[in-house]
Amino acid sequence: MPTVDWEDDDREDDDEGPQECDLAEDDDDATVPCSSCRRDVSELAERCPYCGEWLVAGPATPHRGRIGAALLILAAAAMALLMMRAM
C-alpha cells in the first residue's frame, strides 16, 4: 500500500478552495412573487413558505378558482330566476 508523506504536502498552493465570488454575501437573492399571496419568495423554492401554494414558472395568474366559483353562482342565480318566472 502506498504511503503519503504529509510533511511534503503543499496545502498553501491549493487552487480548489472557495473563490471570492463564492464567499461574497449577495443581498440580491432572486425572488419571485407568489401567485397566491403575492409575497416575495426565493425563486429556488417549490412552495410558498407563507401560504403553502405550489410555485410554478411563469407570470402570476389570477385566482381561477374564485372566478369560476363566482361565475357558477351567477349562473345558478340566473337559472333560479328563469325557473321562478316560468311558474
pLDDT tens figures, 10-69: 555 666 777 777 666 655 678 989 888 999 999 888 889 999 988 876 555 556 677 888
Identify the bridge partners of residue 54 per DSSP, sorted by sequence position: 47
35/64 Cα distance (integer angstroms) = 11
| Residues with Cβ within 8 Å of residue 60, at least 6 apart in sequence | 33, 34, 35, 38
17 or 70: which carries more pLDDT confidence?
70
Residue 7: is its pLDDT beyond 70?
no
How high is the pLDDT of residue 13?
Answer: 60
Please say whether the beta carbons of 50 and 31 come within 8 A.
no
Q: What is the pTM of this model?
A: 0.34
How high is the pLDDT of residue 6?
Answer: 59
Residues in the chain: 87
